Amino acid sequence: MVSRVIPVDPFDLVIFGGTGDLARRKILPGLFRRYCAGQMPDDARVIGAARSEIARDGYREMVAEAIREFGGGPACEDGTLDAFLERLEYVAIDARGEAGWTELQALMAASDRVEAYYFSVAPSLFGDLAERLQSYGMADDAARIVVEKPFGRDLASARELNRTLAKYFHETQIYRIDHYLGKETVQNLMAVRFGNMLFEPLWNSQYVDHIQITVAETVGVGGRGEYYDKSGAMRDMVQNHLMQLLCLIAMEPPARFDPDAVRDEKLKVIRALEPVEPHHIVRGQYEAEPGDEENHPDYRTAVGNPRSRTESFIALKTHVANWRWAGTPFYLRTGKRMVARSSEISVIFKDTPHSIFGEEAGRHRNVLSIRLQPNEGITLGVTIKEPGPGGMRLIDVPLDMTFADALGPEGGESVDAYERLVMDVIRGNQTLFMRGDEVEAAWGWTDPIIEGWTKRGEAPKPYASHSEGPDASEQMMARDHRKWRKVEP
Ligand code: BG6
CATH of the domain at 196: 3.30.360.10
Q: What is the pLDDT of residue 2?
A: 47
Q: State residue 376's pLDDT score.
A: 86
**Res 360 pLDDT > 90:** no
> Probe ligand 1: pick from 236, 311, 342, max atoms within 8 Å of CB?
236
Q: Is 48 helix (H, G, I), strand (E, B) or coil?
A: strand
Residue 247 and residue 383 in one domain? yes
Q: Are residues 369 and 411 in the same domain?
A: yes
pTM here is: 0.94
- Rounded to the nearest 5 percent, the helix, strand and coil shares of the chain are 40, 20, 40
Residue 429 within any structural domain of the chain: yes
In a domain, 206, yes or no: yes
When pLDDT is cut at 50, 70 and 90, the band that residue 322 belongs to is very high
Of 313, 310, 311, 302, give the one whose Cα is nearest residue 336.
Answer: 313
Quick one: which atom of ligand 1 is closest to the CA of 341? 16
| 421-430: pLDDT as tens digits | 999 999 999 9
The last residue of one of the domains, among 123, 148, 173, is: 148
340 band by pLDDT with thresholds 50, 70 and 90: very high
Contact 353, 309 (CB under 8 A): no
Residue 449 has pLDDT above 90, yes or no: yes
236 CA from centroid of ligand 1 (Å):
8
Tell the residue nearest (CA) to atom 8 of ligand 1. Answer: 236
Q: Are residues 102 and 40 in the same domain?
A: yes
In total, how many domains does the chain have?
2
Give the nearest ligand 1 atom to 224 CA: 8
Q: In the listed set 125, 148, 171, which residue is the last one of a domain according to the structure?
A: 148
- Which of 481 and 42 is assigned the larger pLDDT? 481
Distances from the Cα of 363 to the Cαs of 22, 97, 261, 358, in angstroms? Answer: 48, 68, 40, 9
Say how many Å lie between the CA of residue 365 and the centre of ligand 1: 31
Q: Indicate the top mutation candidate among 120, 184, 224, 241 to test ligand 1's pocket, ranked by most ligand atoms within 8 A of CB.
A: 241
384 plus 288 within the same structural domain? yes
Give the pocket of ligand 1 (CB within 6 Å).
179, 217, 236
Cα-to-centroid distance, 336 and ligand 1 (Å): 10
Active centre residues (catalytic): 241
Residue 410 has pLDDT above 60, yes or no: no
Domain membership flag for residue 164 = no
**Looking at ligand 1, which residue's alpha carbon is closest to its atom 6?**
236
Mean pLDDT along residues 332-347:
97
Return the axis-axis angle of helices 155-168 and 126-135, rounded to nearest 10°: 10
Mean pLDDT over 463-469 rounds to: 97
Report phi then psi at 249, rounded to 5.
Answer: -75, -40
Give residue 364's pLDDT band: very low, low, confident or very high (50, 70, 90).
confident
Strand order in the sheet with 342-349: 394-402, 377-385, 367-373, 342-349, 208-216, 329-335, 313-319, 281-286, 461-463
273 in any annotated domain: yes
Give residue-wise pLDDT tens across range 263-310.
Answer: 999 999 999 999 999 999 999 999 999 999 999 999 999 999 999 999
* Of 148, 168, 190, the domain-final residue: 148
Query: Does residue 165 belong to any structural domain of this protein?
Result: no
Query: How far is the centre of ligand 1, averaged over its atoms, from the C-alpha of 399 (Å)?
Result: 29
Alpha-carbon distance of 121 to 335, in angstroms, equals 25
Q: Is residue 404 part of a domain?
A: yes
Which pLDDT belongs to residue 242?
98
More confidently predicted of 84 and 5:
84
Those residues with Cβ within 8 angstroms of residue 119's Cβ, 6 or more apart along the chain or in another chain: 16, 17, 125, 126, 129, 145, 146, 147, 148
Q: What is the mean pLDDT of residues 201-209?
A: 97
What domain range includes position 141? Answer: 11-148
At residue 1, the pLDDT reads 45
* Amino acid letter for position 239: Q
Substitution site in 151, 217, 240 for ligand 1 pocket (most atoms within 8 Å of beta carbon): 217
Q: Which atom of ligand 1 lies closest to the CA of 336?
A: 10
- Ligand 1 centroid – CA 94 distance (Å): 28
Residue 408 has pLDDT above 90, yes or no: no
Q: Which atom of ligand 1 is nearest to the CA of 231?
A: 6
In a domain, 484, yes or no: no
Ligand 1 atom with least separation from CA of 417: 14
Whether residues 104 and 237 fall in one domain:
no
Residue 114 pLDDT > 60: yes
Average pLDDT along the chain = 93
Q: Are residues 131 and 48 in the same domain?
A: yes
| Same-domain status, 408 and 337 | yes
**Confidence category of residue 66, pLDDT binned at 50, 70, 90:** very high
Confidence of residue 406 (pLDDT cuts 50, 70, 90): low
Ligand 1 atom nearest to 343, measured from its CA: 16
187 pLDDT exceeds 90? no
**Shortest-distance Cα residue to atom 9 of ligand 1:** 237
**Nearest protein Cα to ligand 1, atom 2:** 236
Separation of CA 102 and ligand 1 centre (Å)? 36
Both 144 and 190 in one domain: the answer is no
Confidence band for 393, pLDDT divided at 50, 70 and 90: confident
Query: How many residues can be counted in the chain?
Result: 489
340 alpha carbon – ligand 1 mean position (Å): 14
Is the domain of 187 the same as that of 115? Answer: no
Q: For residue 173, is it within any domain?
A: no
Burial of 350 (0-12, 13-18, 19+ CB in 10 A): middle
Claim to verify: residue 125 and residue 241 sit in the same structural domain: no
CATH number, position 24: 3.40.50.720
pLDDT band of residue 5 (cuts 50, 70, 90) is confident
pLDDT above 90 as % of the chain: 81
> Is residue 31 scored above 50 in pLDDT?
yes
Q: Which residue did the predictor score with more confidence, 335 or 385? A: 335
pLDDT given for residue 404 in this prediction: 58
227 and 96 in a common domain: no
- Going by alpha carbons, the residue nearest to atom 15 of ligand 1 is 217
Same-domain pairing of 71 and 205: no
- List, for residues 131-178, the tens digit of each pLDDT value: 999 999 999 999 999 999 899 999 999 999 999 999 999 999 999 999
